[in-house]
A and B are shown apart, each in its own frame.
Chain A
Amino acid sequence: MNSQQGLALEIAGLVFAWPGEAACLDIAAFSMSAGEKLFLHGPSGSGKTTLLSIIGGVLHASAGRVKVSGVELAALGAHARDRFRADEIGFVFQLFNLIPYLSARDNILLPCRFSAARRRRIADAGTTPADEAQRLAARLDLPPELLDRPAMALSVGQQQRVAAARALIGRPALVIADEPTSALDADRQVRFLDLLMGECAAVGAALLFVSHDRRLTGHFDRVVNLAEMNRAIAEIAA
């Protein structure tokens, strides 16, 4: 499995600018090894979310290389990039992660609709998507009776854990979490982080965790400040 060897993420010479604006990202080199847990922080507006969209293949850098799990994103067409994102990357956002009218279970199962690779990996592990959803939910402290409720009937903390289960189902190489805890209160933040990290380790996914809350850094293998790494910001600051 390529997530166990080599790099989960490799960025070199990345430059990105929003249309009609000066460069917003300029990163000489940045990488994550497979299974690594990395904490990325930086002030608001430093380009964290923009960087995640580039890694997800939704935005395209004007220069440089972005490899996820050894695959060069620029070499893929738009359709293949979407497929690749479905197969290899799981996202958890700050809020509104779920399709409100689908049940928690159907939300967890959504990536299996988009990704044959995730379905295949679940089958290879000798289980079914439904069982895997149930197992992940249990691991993330979601009681089974909750799974049939519509997502909008869940508390914010429960919604974030459903989103984590959805990101993890079918063993993607990389889980990207963009301020997933900022809507949670303090004890729940730590609890959520523990669950997320535990499951990332269990499925072998690298975790790119974005937050401006540096109290959480202690749990991670590595901490990176985007403001320092991003030469576009550093220049403005200078």
Chain B
Amino acid sequence: MMRLFPLTLASLWNRRLTAGLTVVVIALSVSLLLGVERLRSDARASFASTVSGTDLIVGARSGPVQLLLYSVFHIGDATNEISWPAVQRIAARREVAWVVPLSLGDSHRGYRVVGTSADFFKYYRYGDRRALAFAAGDPFGPVFEAVVGAEVAARLGYREGARITLAHGSGEHVAEHGDKPFSVVGVLAPTGTPVDRSVLVSLESIEAIHLDWQGGAPIPGLKIAPEMVRKFDLAPKRVTAVLVGLENRAMVFRLQRAINEDTREPLLAILPGVTLDQLWDVVGIGARVLLAVSALVVAVGLAGLVAVVVASLGERRRELAILRALGAGPRDVFFLVAAESVLLTLAGCVLGVALVQVLVFSMAAWLQANYGLAVSPGWPVGREWMLLGAVMLAGLLASLVPALRAYRQSLADGMMVRM
């Protein structure tokens, strides 16, 4: 059998144009499949680590996914808030190492304003437990200073010293806090998380701009000048959500239960990782559909391979009859033709893997910059090998079609082709 292998190669080389095109088609479909899988798993990983290092997220009682959406992704609004005493009670618990309160509700030119404490920069983690880094400047001070995320800075052209005003609410109906401008004191490095699209200010700043407001509108006739706000008590009364870090992760379920069963105020504590997974089940559908479509494209590629090899059998009847006369059995003919298809599939897979490497290498920077998606170049991993194996298996099965046909043909033709 191995002695026939050079014949397979020579025969393929003789039909190098169609064989080459077939390999290219398979390579393109394989690279699509692997590329989508790479994107899917990287998107999943980056999604799953939008918040890492936070053990619990606490908000007013609602659904877990809803709490995650508004507190981390800034999608939708909280229907209720947490009272400041409740935050202090959580912070005071022995098993709690730190709390970072988040106060949402204001916006700046379409970007969410996040009122928080300076601890946010210390404790917020994303990705592989990476801390936030400053591209320029420093954390905000007590009042009227803002830190902007990477995308905000890039899109709006903000640098240290820029003067910005916040708006009450978000979306279309916003009322400007025009009388109390902020200065940008820091710009964060890109993270690929919603932090990039945030304007971060202190909780005190949030209190200060709302001193002369009530129920979402300025109080008529009351105007408190910016330099006067320090005379007021700027301690927050309510916040939207709290990120909680524990001394010992093992306590997380006990604390979650304690918070959820607190009778003084209806609260909800969620484990961000678990809820992110639930959320991915929904948003990941697109990626799974894409993967299924890519698998179909591979199937189409293999169908093309079968068509090309079967079509070639017609013009190769004489060739196969000659081999019979020289002592090849129908089984040899079977393997000769099967080996050809398998070889084309293998070449397609190898070229496809190479193509994905090139694509990932050349597009990684662009994806990171534009979508905050960290795509990892490198050899296929885990599931990608499984997919390649599946493609090879499908190629093997596909090869049976022309091989069986050649087998039957050579049994019928023998050494002579009757034309």
Residues on A lying within 8 angstroms of B by beta carbon are 49, 52-53, 56, 58-59, 78-79, 82-83, 85-87, 91, 93, 96-102, 106, 110-111, 113-115, 166
What residue in chain B is nearest A115 (Cβ atoms)?
A: B327
Chain B: minimal CB distance from A166 (Å): 8
| CB atoms of A82 and B325 under 8 A apart | no
| CB atoms of B10 and A102 under 8 A apart | yes
Question: B295-339 CB contact bits vs A (8 Å, 1 = yes)?
Answer: 000000000000000000000001100111111111110000000
With the chains together, A203 CA to B327 CA distance in Å?
20
With the chains together, A99 CA to B325 CA distance in Å?
12
Of residues 272 to 316 in B, which have CB atoms within 8 Å of A's CB atoms?
none
Chain A: minimal CB distance from B336 (Å): 12
Chain B contacts for A53, CB-based, 8 A: 414-416
What residue in chain A is nearest B330 (Cβ atoms)?
A: A78
Chain A contacts for B318, CB-based, 8 A: 96
| CB atoms of A87 and B327 under 8 A apart | yes
| CB atoms of A82 and B328 under 8 A apart | yes
| CB atoms of B327 and A101 under 8 A apart | no
In the assembled complex, B13 has its CB within 8 A of some CB on chain A:
yes
What residue in chain A is nearest B417 (Cβ atoms)?
A: A96
With the chains together, A85 CA to B6 CA distance in Å?
21
| CB atoms of B10 and A101 under 8 A apart | yes
| CB atoms of B326 and A110 under 8 A apart | yes
The 6 closest A-B pairs by CB, nearest first: A86-B327, A101-B14, A114-B327, A82-B329, A58-B414, A91-B325
With the chains together, A91 CA to B323 CA distance in Å?
11
| CB atoms of B327 and A82 under 8 A apart | yes
Chain B: minimal CB distance from A92 (Å): 9
With the chains together, A80 CA to B319 CA distance in Å?
22
Q: Which of these, A56, A87, A113, contacts B325 with CB under 8 Å?
A: A56
| CB atoms of A99 and B322 under 8 A apart | yes
| CB atoms of B322 and A97 under 8 A apart | yes
Chain A contacts for B323, CB-based, 8 A: 99
What residue in chain B is nearest A176 (Cβ atoms)?
A: B325
Chain B contacts for A101, CB-based, 8 A: 10-11, 13-14
Chain B contacts for A98, CB-based, 8 A: 322
| CB atoms of B415 and A56 under 8 A apart | yes
With the chains together, A95 CA to B318 CA distance in Å?
10
Chain A: minimal CB distance from B322 (Å): 6
Chain A: minimal CB distance from B266 (Å): 81
Interface residues on B, range: 20 to 34
Of residues 1 to 27 in B, which have CB atoms within 8 Å of A's CB atoms?
3-4, 6-7, 10-11, 13-14
What are 30 A-B contacts defined by CB distance under 8 Å? A53-B415, A53-B416, A58-B325, A58-B415, A78-B329, A78-B330, A82-B324, A82-B327, A82-B329, A83-B327, A85-B327, A86-B328, A91-B326, A91-B415, A93-B415, A96-B318, A96-B322, A99-B7, A99-B319, A100-B319, A102-B10, A111-B327, A113-B3, A113-B4, A113-B6, A113-B7, A113-B326, A114-B326, A114-B328, A166-B326
Chain B contacts for A96, CB-based, 8 A: 318, 322
Chain A contacts for B324, CB-based, 8 A: 58, 82
Chain B: minimal CB distance from A172 (Å): 10
Most buried by A among B4, B14, B331: B14
Chain A contacts for B14, CB-based, 8 A: 100-101
| CB atoms of B326 and A111 under 8 A apart | yes
Question: B71-84 CB contact bits vs A (8 Å, 1 = yes)?
Answer: 00000000000000
Chain B contacts for A49, CB-based, 8 A: 416
Q: Contacts A56-B415, A101-B10 given: A79-B327 contact, CB under 8 Å?
A: no
Most buried by A among B4, B11, B319, B325: B325
Chain A: minimal CB distance from B47 (Å): 53
With the chains together, A86 CA to B415 CA distance in Å?
12
What residue in chain B is nearest A118 (Cβ atoms)?
A: B327
With the chains together, A12 CA to B7 CA distance in Å?
38
Most buried by A among B10, B327, B328: B327
With the chains together, A78 CA to B328 CA distance in Å?
11
With the chains together, A59 CA to B416 CA distance in Å?
11
Chain B contacts for A166, CB-based, 8 A: 326
| CB atoms of B331 and A93 under 8 A apart | no
With the chains together, A101 CA to B312 CA distance in Å?
14
Chain A contacts for B329, CB-based, 8 A: 78-79, 82
Chain B contacts for A78, CB-based, 8 A: 329-330
Chain B contacts for A99, CB-based, 8 A: 7, 10, 319, 322-323
Excluding A58-B414, A114-B326, 15 further A-B contacts by CB distance (< 8 Å) are: A59-B414, A78-B330, A82-B332, A86-B327, A86-B328, A91-B325, A91-B326, A93-B415, A93-B416, A101-B11, A110-B326, A113-B6, A114-B3, A115-B327, A166-B326
